[in-house]
Amino acid sequence: MHTRTLGPFQVSALGLGCMSFSMGYGPADDAESARVLQAALDAGYSFLDTASMYGGGHNESLIGATLKQRRHEFVLASKCGLSKDETGKPVVNGRPEVLKKQCEDSLKRLQTEVIDLYYLHRLDPKVPVEESVGGLADLIHAGKIRSLGLSEISTASLRRAQAEHPVTAVQSEYSLWSRTPETSLLAACAELGVSFIPFSPLGRGFFTGKAQDVTHLTKDDVRCTNARPRFEPEAFAANSQLLQPFAELAKQQGCTLAQLALAWLLAQKNAEGEPTLIPIPGTKHLDYLLENAGAADLQLPPATVTALNELINESTIQGQRYTAALMASMDAERDRLAPTD
């Protein structure tokens, strides 16, 4: 797989999002997950993304136990500042002392001496971003992490963070049907020299053509438990109508639906005409892992990119990516209200 620049690192053009090994999309088997992790490195993936919140530490422990002997083969990213309380409710805490404690715990679970890229998982509205970033900078100076990043951040918050300490990467949801980063964040990242990492690049499975509406999902599936409006039966049925012409475009390119969605992201260019995005599709299935890897070899014609932009975007689909309450709590969504930040 060809590589792209991520701050001081060279990584595979596609990374691997590891959350589904521990939570989010129904049960997973540790033995099979370990097999997929090993296969990912064998297939050329050299960028793995996890978080302390995924499975309450289970995800990091799985990666540590499985890949300890191959640690030199991949760039490791994890996240801090987001956890769950005893009731399962998400808790955001960006205080520096909390982030440092979470880092120490993550290092032990990951069985490594240093985390290559450490993200603030969510901005804490009660803690200035400069304080949280300052805490992460302390971890860099202590040799615990090599670089820092931000997740689901607004353009204004990114600029404030960058003034405190150089930011290596921003991670936010970005796909054909989730375009918030196009408002101003992608341009700001390019201006500041910050890498952009799209998560949920397959629309939580929608662009594989295999996703189902919420009436068919298990209780522990994030598309159901967090009430993603696009997966509610009426909206899902309407959105699914787009998959037929989407499949026709995939057929023209000789690829699968998932590969087409990933290739669209890989084809996005910055102001200098360079493709720089590093999507991190997640899967717990070996076949899908290898299928996704094939997207890195696709070169989409400009006409196909244009056709995809016109076919699927936030004006052609039904439903927001989150409920109204969740959208209001996301710092990244501030860019819709203040696009000139």
Look up the domain containing 66 and give its range.
Answer: 3-337
CA distances from 13 to 4, 9, 20, 34 (A): 5, 12, 20, 22
User: HSE (CB half, 13 Å, CA atoms) of 159?
Assistant: 12
Task: Look at residue 303 and tell me whether its pLDDT is greater than 90.
Answer: yes
Specify whether the CB–CB gap between 201 and 261 falls below 8 A. Answer: yes
Specify whether the CB–CB gap between 214 and 224 falls below 8 A. Answer: yes
Q: Amino acid identity of 162? A: Q
Q: Is the pTM of this model over 0.75?
A: yes
Task: Look at residue 338 and tell me whether its pLDDT is greater than 70.
Answer: no
What percent of the chain clears pLDDT 90, i.e. is strictly above it? 80
Q: What does pLDDT average to over the chain?
A: 93
Q: Report, as an integer, the average pLDDT of 222-230.
A: 71
Report pLDDT digits (tens) over 48-97.
999 999 999 999 999 999 999 999 999 999 999 999 888 888 899 999 99
CATH of the domain at 59: 3.20.20.100
Task: Look at residue 226 and tell me whether its pLDDT is greater than 60.
Answer: no
Q: Please give the pLDDT value at position 180.
A: 95
Task: Look at residue 125 and tell me whether its pLDDT is greater than 70.
Answer: yes
Q: Please give the pLDDT value at position 87.
A: 83
Task: Look at residue 340 and tell me whether its pLDDT is greater than 50.
Answer: no
User: HSE (CB half, 13 Å, CA atoms) of 163?
Assistant: 10
Report pLDDT digits (tens) over 243-265.
999 999 999 999 999 999 999 99
Please count the structural domains in the chain.
Answer: 1
- Active-site residue numbers? 54
Q: Report, as an integer, the average pLDDT of 291-309.
A: 96
